[in-house]
Structure 1
């Protein structure tokens, strides 16, 4: 799905042209698979609201937004919620194979989708880089990891994500297909007045490839490799547990994020109908893997740490006092929060 801003010309005049330009290739089989899998979108939406809401509650109750980690986590949670808010609409669209929400919602949902999608990738990368600074350069990191550094970094991420969304924002709209009598919310298949569609699509391909695939993977692999070396060379008793956690984080990111990007880039360049159908099946499956990762990533990045686990136990005990004798809770002062991270808190 692509997103778009409102343009000053009427796409309805192009509907017959769109009907001729859309490939007659039968994509019903992989679209039906996508429709069945899209039921998961509603569960991911609810899970994301619950998990990310819990992270926000813990930050509000026990932490302060003066630390670098908390500022980055807050922005990651917000980007995840922005992205997940589009999934119920996409689920309905995929199940009906017909856009029923109108042109304005098509543009709005598409904009939200890409802004959340792009910013989530970059905030995950930024969070990994910051964790690398805190562990590998633990002595000098506090001078660099200031609140100003966090605010500026988050501002850059939102700016880059917004600019990266300009291309789909210019190309997407609703159009009526006369052959199957359905309304589509997608990238317009014809020419758009005053816009070089070929250049926009080419730039979008390379932007997706380098900025949102190769760059994040390179940063995450490098940072976690440095963290692993630092932890392994330390005398920490829990270093092997930490190394296993690092391995799991990297493997999950690769397993969920890379296949979707690779298949999506290949799918956009498919030449024959048969090739498009095969890649369509793979795209439906890998897309859901990527969505699941973005759904759980804020929770995963927080609750693997002992501090957040303890905060969660405190919330449970406060809500259900009868469980106090069964749940081990250590008290932490809200004012004793540090910007440093130790390997045990990864």
Structure 2
């Protein structure tokens, strides 16, 4: 679930349905300045997220290029996860400027383009995280039969399906996303159609998109991730691995981090999408919650590819090799395994 980039400062929501002596009298406007100002302040973090994501995920790409081969399932999935994260993060500087100014200054074409990139990166990141979790489940739980299934062809086809599904899911926001000028506050907004649109049914598109996001990008990923990590935990706990307790702690951290960062945002968006708030105060509270949880969710997608990569000893060693080669003086202080080709097979200790 994505939610809007920024709630338009709707400080002019008058109710003209009140009558007194046969005349219309508008009620007091519901000011949303508070939660929009919070969003503007939090959006400053998006610049740091963007810079960190480009640097950290770029580092992952360098390591994969220098030390790995794109013949293993894990590396192919990690590469696509990093790319989807970079696609999503490339939209955040535009989103941040928009939230700070409450004015879209980039034009209608960029509104649709940035919106499409935003949703494509967001949707594909969710599905690639789910696919990566499922693949690790196959590698650990079905370690004997998994090599027959986990082929390069399986990885390429799986990634192709994820990109196709994510691209199709972007059709709705691509059609609905547009710019419109607000005459009262003299600002331009980039948002979805709120009324009728030529050529398609806005209500049906919004409704179908709501259920698509609910089941495909919330319930389905959560169910798969919980199931897979539960099976992994049971398998590791029943084995005789010396590091099984450390692995179980890591599994617990991964699951808790995913739920803590991602679920609150989706719950708030579900509440936001159900319809107009029943009161001004409820709308304000929902706005504050949306701004805060959205920032946390973005932070997770910023660090998740790095987190999933560097928890493995193999990638840690590659990083040390890269640092020692770039800064030879570190060789006396950093232990590096230079003599062996470390296995690319996923083991419980590399989760």
One of 135, 139, 144 as aligned partner of 2:140? 135
Relative to structure 1, is the Cα distance of residues 242 and 332 closer, same or farther in structure 2, using a 3 angstrom cutoff? farther
Partners of 1:125 and 1:191 lie apart in 2 by: 36
Partners of 1:76 and 1:145 lie apart in 2 by: 17
Partners of 1:24 and 1:70 lie apart in 2 by: 54
Correspondence 1:323 to 2:330: yes
Secondary structure of the residue aligned to 1:324 is: helix
One of 178, 186, 195 as aligned partner of 1:190? 195
- How far off is 1:193 after superposition? 1.6
Partners of 1:39 and 1:328 lie apart in 2 by: 38
Correspondence 1:245 to 2:250: yes
Partners of 1:75 and 1:275 lie apart in 2 by: 40
Partners of 2:72 and 2:250 lie apart in 1 by: 23
| Stretches of structure 1 lacking an aligned partner (at least 5 in a row) | 4-18
Partners of 2:260 and 2:141 lie apart in 1 by: 26
Correspondence 1:62 to 2:67: yes
Query: Which residue number corresponds to residue 300 of structure 1?
Result: 307
Query: Which residue number corresponds to residue 109 of structure 2?
Result: 104
Correspondence 1:90 to 2:95: yes
Aligned pairs for 1:154-193 within 5 A: 154-193=159-198
Query: Which residue number corresponds to residue 291 of structure 1?
Result: 298
Query: Which residue number corresponds to residue 25 of structure 2?
Result: none
Relative to structure 1, is the Cα distance of residues 105 and 20 closer, same or farther in structure 2, using a 3 angstrom cutoff? farther
Correspondence 1:122 to 2:127: yes
Query: Which residue number corresponds to residue 257 of structure 1?
Result: 262
Partners of 1:305 and 1:188 lie apart in 2 by: 45
Aligned length: 329
Relative to structure 1, is the Cα distance of residues 126 and 332 closer, same or farther in structure 2, using a 3 angstrom cutoff? farther
Of structures 1 and 2, the one with the larger relative CO (CA 8 A, separation 6+) is: 1
Secondary structure of the residue aligned to 1:170 is: helix
Q: Deviations over 1:18-71 (max 9, x none)?
A: x999x9632111000000000000000000001100100000010000100000
Say what the alpha-carbon RMSD is for the aligned residues.
1.8
Query: Which residue number corresponds to residue 74 of structure 1?
Result: 79
- How far off is 1:2 after superposition? 6.1
Partners of 1:120 and 1:198 lie apart in 2 by: 27
Are the equivalent residues in 1 in contact too, given 2:193–2:202 (CA < 8 A)?
no
Secondary structure of the residue aligned to 1:173 is: strand
- How far off is 1:333 after superposition? 4.6
Query: Which residue number corresponds to residue 150 of structure 2?
Result: 145
Query: Which residue number corresponds to residue 9 of structure 1?
Result: none
Q: Deviations over 1:185-213 (max 9, x none)?
A: 00122111221111111111111111111
- How far off is 1:289 after superposition? 0.5
Partners of 1:284 and 1:271 lie apart in 2 by: 16
- Identify the range of structure 1 (152-161 vs 189-198) with the bigger mean alpha-carbon deviation: 189-198
- How far off is 1:73 after superposition? 0.3
Correspondence 1:207 to 2:212: yes
Secondary structure of the residue aligned to 2:180 is: strand
4+ runs deviating over 6 angstroms = none
Query: Which residue number corresponds to residue 311 of structure 1?
Result: 318
Secondary structure of the residue aligned to 1:184 is: strand
Partners of 2:30 and 2:202 lie apart in 1 by: 22
TM-score (norm 2): 0.90
Are the equivalent residues in 2 in contact too, given 1:136–1:227 (CA < 8 A)?
yes
* More helix, by proportion: 1
TM-score (norm 1): 0.92
One of 273, 277, 294 as aligned partner of 1:271? 277
Are the equivalent residues in 2 in contact too, given 1:63–1:337 (CA < 8 A)?
no
Secondary structure of the residue aligned to 2:332 is: coil
Partners of 2:160 and 2:120 lie apart in 1 by: 13
Partners of 1:332 and 1:134 lie apart in 2 by: 26
